[in-house]
């Protein structure tokens, strides 16, 4: 497996994805890590600040607990509810949001935190194939994101499960010409590097949900995959890039506020089977409030327009 991974990294490390001209609406789907949304807000802030002429509309539709595999633990949420399945809402999501491009980050929940099992692995692969087909049948492009690193206290058993899931996704670049961006192994490498100096270092206190630093690293690797030359240095972080610009921290905060406002409204509007979620504002009201935030963001961006990097 190690040899396979090294080969995959050598073959595909330099792969990039060019967002097509005319792409406007970009939708992110995934589980609670995507719903938390810091990495999505980072990506939104990057394009809002450095490439405002592209006018991307980025919508976060991550749903906590969700899987593509359709699997759920018998005691999930202490037996309160089974894990929601992406397939239940996917058609509605595509029809309602009308995306040009979809980013999908699944895998963390799909092995349901148990040791590797071929049947569970097949469920994951089948779910990813159905997702891919549904998006392409709709007429949108899709980029798969490998799952973040798992760092829980299970003697690395589940971490190896996610290695398997990641390797399979990366392999689809060659076998099926899929667009796949790897965040898993860069996070794993950084985790090992940090622990060489600080054995207690962690991206996630619970082993699953990355902290802000973890989300920043996820965003950096996705943006590099999208051709962000400004970040293609090992010592350049997304937060340093954003916050080095005038009002960068304020822009980031406004983007996060806008993202939170819209994702809860969109999730409720589309519908889902995950209880105990924020209802959010009615969608049209949320859009009106989001538009005001967008204008505030654009005003701040114009302050340093002359210093933007030419795309």
Q: Is the pLDDT of residue 2 over 70?
A: no
**Three-state secondary structure along the chain?**
CHHHHHHHHHHHCCCCCCCCCCCCEEEEEECHHHHHCHHHHHHHHHHHHHCHHHCCEEEECCCCCCECCCCCCCCHHHHCCCCCEHHHHHHHHHHHHCCCEEEEECCCCCCCCCCCCHHHHHHHHHHHHHHHHHHHHHCCEEEEECCCCCCCCCCCHHHHHHHHHHHHHHHHHHHCCCEEECCHHHHHHHHHHHHHHCCCCCCCCCCCCCCHHHHHHHHHHHHHHCCCHHHCCCCCCHHHHHHCCCCHHHHHHHHHHHHHHHHHHHHHHHCCCCCCCCCCCCHHHHHHHHHHHHHHHHHHHHCCHHHCCCC
pLDDT at 214 (0 to 100): 97
- 133-167: string of b/e by CB count within 10 Å (b at 16+)? ebbeebebbbbbbbbbbbbeeeeeebbbbbbbbbb
Least confident of 66-75, 130-139, 201-210, 302-311: 302-311
Please report whether residue 175 resides in a domain. Answer: yes
Question: How far lies 260's CA from each of 115, 165, 180, 246, 264, in Å?
Answer: 34, 29, 26, 23, 6
> Which of the pair, 142 or 3, is modelled with greater confidence?
142
According to the model, what pLDDT value does residue 151 have? 93
Within a domain: residue 10? no
Residue 66 lies in a domain: yes
Is 3's pLDDT higher than 80? no
Of 265, 220, 254, 222, residue with least CA distance to 61: 265
For the segment 239-253, the average pLDDT, to the nearest whole number, is: 91
Residue 244 binned pLDDT confidence (cut-offs 50, 70, 90): confident
What are the residues facing 57 on neighbouring strands? 25
What phi and psi values does residue 40 have, to the nearest 5 degrees? -70, -45
Is the pLDDT at 8 greater than 60? The verdict is: no
Six-digit token pair at 175?
């076998």
CA distance 305 to 299: 10
Domain-located, residue 229: yes
**Mean pLDDT, range 17-26, rounded to an integer:** 96
- Residue 309: both structure tokens together: 């990097």
Q: Give the model's confidence band at 303: pLDDT under 50 very low, under 70 low, under 90 confident, else very high.
A: confident
Whether the Cβ atoms of residue 40 and residue 58 lie closer than 8 Å to each other: yes
CA distance 248 to 297: 10
- Its pTM stands at 0.93
d(CA 263, CA 38): 12
Q: What is the pLDDT of residues 30-60, one digit of tens each?
A: 999 999 999 999 999 999 999 999 999 999 9
Q: Let me know if residue 120 belongs to a domain.
A: yes
pLDDT score at 16? 87
CA distance 98 to 252: 26
Residue 213 lies in a domain: yes
pLDDT higher than 60, residue 309 = no
The predicted pLDDT at position 175 comes to 97
Q: What per-residue confidence (pLDDT) applies to 44?
A: 98
Higher pLDDT pick, 22 / 307: 22
Domain limits for position 156:
24-302
Over the stretch 126-174, which tens digit does the pLDDT of each residue have?
Answer: 999 999 999 999 999 999 999 999 998 877 899 999 999 999 999 999 9
Please say if the pLDDT value at position 235 is more than 90.
Answer: no
Confidence of residue 4 (pLDDT cuts 50, 70, 90): very low
pLDDT score, position 307:
53
Q: What is the mean pLDDT of residues 204-230?
A: 95
Q: To the nearest whole percent, how much of the chain has pLDDT over 70?
A: 93
pLDDT interval class at 12 (50, 70, 90): very low
- Give the Cα separation of 228 and 224 in Å (integer): 5
User: What is residue 305's predicted lDDT score, i.e. its pLDDT?
Assistant: 65
Mean pLDDT of 229-234: 82
Q: pLDDT (tens digit, 9 = 90+) per residue, 191-209? A: 999 999 999 999 999 999 9
- Structural domain contains residue 123: yes
Name the token pair of 307.
């210093």
Please state the domain count of the chain: 1
Closest CA to 53 of 249, 311, 279: 311
256 within a domain of the structure (yes/no): yes
> What is the model's pLDDT at position 306?
55
Per-residue model confidence as pLDDT tens digits over 161-173: 999 999 999 999 9
Question: Domain with 273 in it: what CATH number?
Answer: 3.40.50.1110
């Amino acid at each position: 497996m190690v040899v396979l991974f090294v080969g995959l990294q050598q073959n595909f490390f330099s792969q990039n994805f060019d967002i097509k001209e005319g792409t406007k609406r970009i939708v992110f789907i995934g589980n609670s890590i995507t719903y938390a949304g810091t990495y999505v807000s980072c990506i939104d802030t990057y394009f809002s600040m450095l490439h405002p002429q592209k006018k991307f509309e980025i919508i976060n539709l991550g749903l906590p607990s969700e899987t593509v595999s359709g699997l759920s633990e018998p005691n999930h949420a202490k037996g309160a509810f089974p894990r929601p399945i992406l397939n239940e809402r996917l058609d509605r999501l595509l029809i309602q949001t009308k995306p040009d491009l979809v980013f999908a980050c699944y895998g963390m929940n799909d092995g349901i935190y148990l040791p590797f099992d071929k049947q569970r692995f097949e469920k994951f692969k089948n779910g990813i194939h159905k997702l891919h087909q549904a998006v392409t049948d709709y007429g949108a492009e899709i980029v798969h994101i490998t799952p973040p690193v798992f760092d829980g206290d299970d003697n690395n058993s589940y971490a190896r499960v996610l290695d398997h899931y990641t390797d399979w996704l990366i392999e689809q670049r060659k076998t099926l010409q899929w667009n796949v961006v790897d965040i898993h192994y860069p996070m794993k490498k950084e985790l090992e590097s940090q622990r060489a100096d600080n054995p207690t270092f962690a991206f996630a206190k619970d082993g699953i949900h990355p902290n802000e630093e973890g989300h920043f690293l996820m965003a950096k690797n996705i943006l590099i995959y999208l051709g962000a030359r400004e970040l293609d240095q090992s010592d350049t972080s997304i937060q340093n890039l954003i916050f080095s610009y005038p009002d960068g921290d304020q822009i980031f905060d406004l983007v996060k506020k806008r993202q939170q406002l819209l994702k809860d409204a969109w999730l409720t509007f589309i519908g889902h089977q995950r209880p105990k979620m924020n209802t959010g504002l009615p969608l049209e009201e949320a859009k009106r409030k989001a538009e005001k935030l967008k204008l505030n963001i654009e005003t701040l961006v114009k302050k340093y327009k002359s210093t933007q990097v030419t795309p």
